[in-house]
Homo-oligomer: A and B are copies of this chain.
Amino acid sequence: MSERRPGEIPEATVARLAVYLRVLTGLVDASTVIVSSEELAAIAGVNSAKLRKDLSYLGSIGTRGVGYDVTLLREKIASSLGLTQRRTCVLVGVGNLGHALAGYPGFSSRGFTFVGYFDVDPGRVGDPIADSKISDISELESVVEANGVSIGVIATPAEAAQTVCDRLVDAGVTSILNFAPSVLAVPDNVDVRKVDLAAELQILSFHEHRKSRGPGDGLVESVG
């Protein structure tokens, strides 16, 4: 019955590991040495059984009767997420959103190095950005190849996203973070994650709609 291979971490768990990592970094900063699953789960906003199960995929890290060594756990999670080596990234499309992303220090502090910011607009190319400069999109491939870039961030309009994606993939990028509202087609070996902000608001809208009709009543409003 579908025994999970050791080292195979469920997708849902991976997403939460990133959250635990952030919480643990906060605890390290606060000089906390030991934390129990109950405490950590409370801070991370999850069920403690779920947290323990998540951590169990990384091996047996805690001490029964005591809890988890904060520093050790943080390192273990970081290494599971492949964060022991810095990852190089490029950003394509330095408009409104691209500027915000480029100016965010949280990426670098978490081990992500942006080695290039690209735009097609000649009016923007050369502009300073995050102690670097906006490069022309024509330089994309050479920068990606020279730096072994593995992650590409797309913040262009939707129409350009697939073209940009194809170029990134051809140049060797194997992970894409897409902010454009479009579905990207990629080869099997490439991972895509999308951030669809309008969709987020629409999902909230759905729940608002549901709430406003009263929770769980079968009342159908004005049919016919």
Contacts and interface: CB of A to CB of B under 8 A. Distances in A.
Interface of A: 5-7, 9, 14-15, 17-19, 21-23, 43-45, 80-83, 87, 89, 96-97, 99-101, 103-104, 106-107, 110-112, 150-151, 174-177, 181, 183-185, 189, 191, 193, 195-212, 216, 218, 220
A208 B5 contact: no
A81 B150 contact: no
A204 B193 contact: yes
A205 B100 contact: no
A193 B211 CA distance: 16
A199 B16 CA distance: 9
A200 B201 CA distance: 18
Contacts of A204: 151, 175-177, 191, 193
A151 B206 contact: no
Contacts of A203: 14-15, 18, 81, 193
Contacts of A99: 96, 100
A208 B150 contact: yes
A103 to B, nearest CB: 5
A191 B174 contact: no
A119 B209 CA distance: 28
